[in-house]
Amino acid sequence: MARIATLGPKGSDGYHAVLQYDPDAEIVLFNRISKVFESFSAGKVDSVVVPVYNTREGEVKEYFRLVSQLDDGYWVDNVVLPIHLSLSRLPGSQKIGFPVKVLIGRSSVFRQCEEYIDTHFPDATLMAVQDIETAFKDIEDNIRTNYAIIESEELVKEFGFELIEREVVSHNRTRFAVISRELAPTTGYDATAIITRPLRDRVGMLADILGEFTRRGINILDLQSENDIQTQKLRIYIEVEGHVENQNMQDAVNRLENVIIQEEDSLKLLGSFPRVDMRVKKIKSFGFIGSGAMSTWFADRLQSEGYTTYVTGRSTELRPEQMINMADVIVVCVPISVTADTIAQYGPLLKGDQALIILAGESENTLQTAMDSTDPSVEIMFVHNLWGPQAVSMKDKNAIVVRTPRSGSFCSEFEAFMYKHGAEIFHDNARQHDLLMGVGQKLPTTISVALARTLAEHEISCEDIGSHSTLTSLYGILSMARVHNQNPRTYAEIMATKGDGRKIVESFAKNLLQIVEMAEQGKIHEISEMMEDNRKFMTPQFLQSRMKQAKAVDSVLSDGGLKFDL
């Protein structure tokens, strides 16, 4: 039987946290967190359970100071416990009419109930105590009728006090850390806590530390900083997603110590543990129809957030029609040319408590098919992610979201998932999306294919292009190379989409022929006037911003190595 130490008395929040973690454990109770840790360091208990965060009061500062001094233990797990605090008094005090002049409670309870106390007992004296059990006995023994205690309903009843008001604060939960002697194994849904030793002053230290995690796509869950009591040097506590045994995490930690901080033994690993989420998630599982690389890319990242995922396709043993009964959210991620047909085939199988998310490049046709083929109570949302499966993360990548009148909480949760991972989210309606994608994808792809064909027809060597191009004219060449360096089927489907983007290509083709004809006829003045009209349509802000971006690209392309390659 494990011996676990926590804060007492019997019936306290810590006591119930231990019961939730290990119902069979022998519970050893103390009145102070310091005593809890001392018992662990002395080998008198196997583990400790201590509060580290409360949704009302925030972090428990004392815990972080003590655990940073611990040399023989790791943070290995968490317990999230609802905290139900009640107001109580000696039996009969309320009925007789004695006013409350003194409120008794633990200091953490007062912080959690600050708003309630200010509203209902603004003139009462607050008396914070470490030993709540002794406080109950003192009030009873000395018949303190003007005293009241805020504590759990269970303790109130155990000491025979009268319950005056239940649940004086709502949405109150405490996160407890479990400290043990061996590092917890990886689960696939983990977090790692690290604290620095006292650091020397250096400009940008905090930003550099955070940037090391951010650039690796490692999400930061919590950040605290304070000055060390003895040295008054900065200490930083960071909790991030992922297990310390993951290679990406190890690389980040090694670089932080050796390159960023540049001090040996400057980081202390507090532990890795199954990730705890203080938020309420409604979605339990995602099912993908389409087993391509993009489906797998999203499925892997959703798994890292604690969701169950299923990927189905032509080659998978699990069939889409089976999977639909197993998942909360169905994600269609198939080639553009078959997206609408896939939705029409499987949409009727979805039930009212599910959501359909369409990952595709064309919205009007697919959304209309989804609305027509699914039950009216099924949630529906369209997402166009402007990145491929080669991307390391979503950070700073564009995602176009088209919500519908049937987009609900499941859709919002998926959108929040993308936002959390750094995606730049833009909302559109279906027609506007397809029109803009005609400009952003359909037209540039069409031009790239036509340009490559033109080079081939005139037998122009690609190696000769760079010597006869300005940096600006190279942009089209770079785009052509990018398109032809990837899957031709993908870009062929982009060009063949049926939405309003077709209008862009058709309009461009018409204008191109007109301008070619004007140029052939030597109508320089007319072409200049057309360009002036174009400039009036474009705002000065747009022109200046894009000019700034163009100069930045020019600067990169002017690099000696790149210029030689071109």
Q: Where are the alpha helices (H) located in 99-202, listed in sequence order?
A: 107-112, 114-120, 132-141, 153-158
Same domain, yes or no: 314 and 391: yes
**Distant-in-sequence, close-in-space partners of 320: CB < 8 Å, separation ≥ 6:** 287, 289, 312, 313, 346
Same domain, yes or no: 292 and 421: yes
Final residue belonging to a domain, choices 138, 171, 204: 171
Element (H, E) at 414: helix 409-420
Tokens at residue 548, please?
């700034």
Q: How many domains does the chain have?
A: 5
* Contact indicator for 152, 82 with CB cutoff of 8 Å: no
DSSP reduced 3-state for 227: strand
- Read off the CATH number of the domain in which 295 is found: 3.40.50.720
Final residue belonging to a domain, choices 428, 444, 465: 428
Same domain, yes or no: 53 and 103: no
Same domain, yes or no: 55 and 146: no
Same domain, yes or no: 389 and 296: yes
DSSP 464: G
Predicted local distance difference test score (pLDDT) of residue 560: 55
Same domain, yes or no: 335 and 192: no
Same domain, yes or no: 176 and 30: yes
Alpha-carbon gap, residue 302 to 329, rounded angstroms: 12
**Distant-in-sequence, close-in-space partners of 374: CB < 8 Å, separation ≥ 6:** 347, 348, 350, 356, 380
Same domain, yes or no: 323 and 374: yes
Predicted local distance difference test score (pLDDT) of residue 255: 93
Final residue belonging to a domain, choices 390, 410, 428: 428
Same domain, yes or no: 424 and 352: yes
Same domain, yes or no: 272 and 315: no
- Read off the CATH number of the domain in which 33 is found: 3.40.190.10
Does residue 9 have a cis bond before it (omega within 30 degrees)?
yes
Predicted local distance difference test score (pLDDT) of residue 199: 85
Same domain, yes or no: 402 and 493: no
Write phi, then psi, for 535 (nearest 5 degrees): -65, -35
Same domain, yes or no: 46 and 178: yes
DSSP 92: T
Task: Average pLDDT across each block of 10 residues of the chain; the chain has 566 residues. List them in order.
Answer: 92 91 95 90 94 84 70 90 90 83 92 92 94 92 94 88 87 90 92 89 86 88 82 87 93 92 88 81 94 95 92 94 97 93 97 94 91 94 92 89 90 90 89 78 80 84 74 74 78 74 82 88 90 85 81 71 54
DSSP 199: B
pTM for this entry:
0.60
Residue 110 belongs to domain spanning = 84-171
